[in-house]
Amino acid sequence: MSDQPTEDRHTRSHGRKTIMATLKPRELITATPDLARAWKAQVITLFPEAFPGVLDLSLTGRALQEGLWQMDTIDLRPFGEGRHRNVDDTPAGGGAGMVLRADIMGRAIEQARARMPPDAPLIYLSPRGRPFTQGMAQDLATRPGVTLICGRFEGMDQRVIDHYGITEVSMGDFVLTGGEIPAMALLDATLRLIPGILGNAASTQEESFSDGTLEHPQYTKPASWQGHDIPPVLLSGNHGEIARWRQAQSEALTRERRPDLWARRKLPGTT
């Protein structure tokens, strides 16, 4: 990545600017004005130009423009050392690859957290983290926002994780070149649960994982296609029978495709 003057690489903010009433004096000009009542996504990354990416499209993109949520990117590069703003170094003890330095990441985190509420979680996207779940997305949607750290190379100095009590989260048992794509996936799963973004709250209550099972099959017009018909029960108008059919389908799919989910759902004390 080529070096650019620091003043040209300010933290970027996406979303409609809304003024919040406050008795506390504010600077007349800030790089990233806060949005009133907006859920705030903050991302520390070496590639701020990657955001908001697909989140700027469709319903999440419209909600971004309407100020229902805000995205701030913290470019890690300006915190680097030397002429080339280096942010990494060789692993202590030897080994392949490079590791993000603790002092550099610490400075970026300090700047990021200064503009976030204390109850906004700090999450590092890491393949060794706890698996991301729908329950985690639901919890994040109730918070004022989240700060995400996108790793690169061989990861981040462990001392940073320990010092700040960072939660490591994984999007699956695979390895990517960086945390930017997982960050977008985590944000998309969370944003759609925030009131007003999808527009239809019921749609989030009848989908996969909402009750510990996979979602039932869906159908629409035409009633017959390529010799395949919509199950008659869905055209019967009997809402009780439809609900029972959908529940049975969800349970059958979960047992077949995700026995791990089915086993957890049937444990004592779970629902």
Which residue has better confidence, 25 or 217?
A: 217
The C-alpha atoms of residue 261 and residue 185 are separated, in whole angstroms, by 21
Residues with Cβ within 8 Å of residue 128, at least 6 apart in sequence: 168, 170
pLDDT digits (tens, 9 = 90+) for 92-116: 999 999 999 999 999 999 999 999 9
pLDDT at position 36 is 73
The C-alpha atoms of residue 233 and residue 100 are separated, in whole angstroms, by 57
The yes-or-no answer to whether 6-191 and 212-265 have a common fold is no
The C-alpha atoms of residue 271 and residue 266 are separated, in whole angstroms, by 7
What's the longest Cα–Cα distance across the chain? Answer: 71
Q: How far is CA 161 from CA 12, 45, 76, 94, 193, in A?
A: 25, 16, 16, 20, 28
The C-alpha atoms of residue 261 and residue 271 are separated, in whole angstroms, by 12
Map out the domains of the chain as residue ranges: 6-191, 212-265
pLDDT digits (tens, 9 = 90+) for 112-139: 999 999 999 999 999 999 999 999 999 9
Q: Would you say residue 8 has pLDDT above 50?
A: no
Which residue has better confidence, 78 or 205?
A: 78
Which phi and psi angles does 79 have, rounded to 5°?
A: -85, -5
The CATH T-level fold of domain 212-265 is: Trp Operon Repressor; Chain A (1.10.1270)
For residue 38, what pLDDT band results from cuts at 50, 70 and 90? very high
Domain 6-191: give its CATH code.
3.40.1280.10
pLDDT digits (tens, 9 = 90+) for 142-188: 999 999 999 999 999 999 999 999 999 999 999 999 999 999 999 99
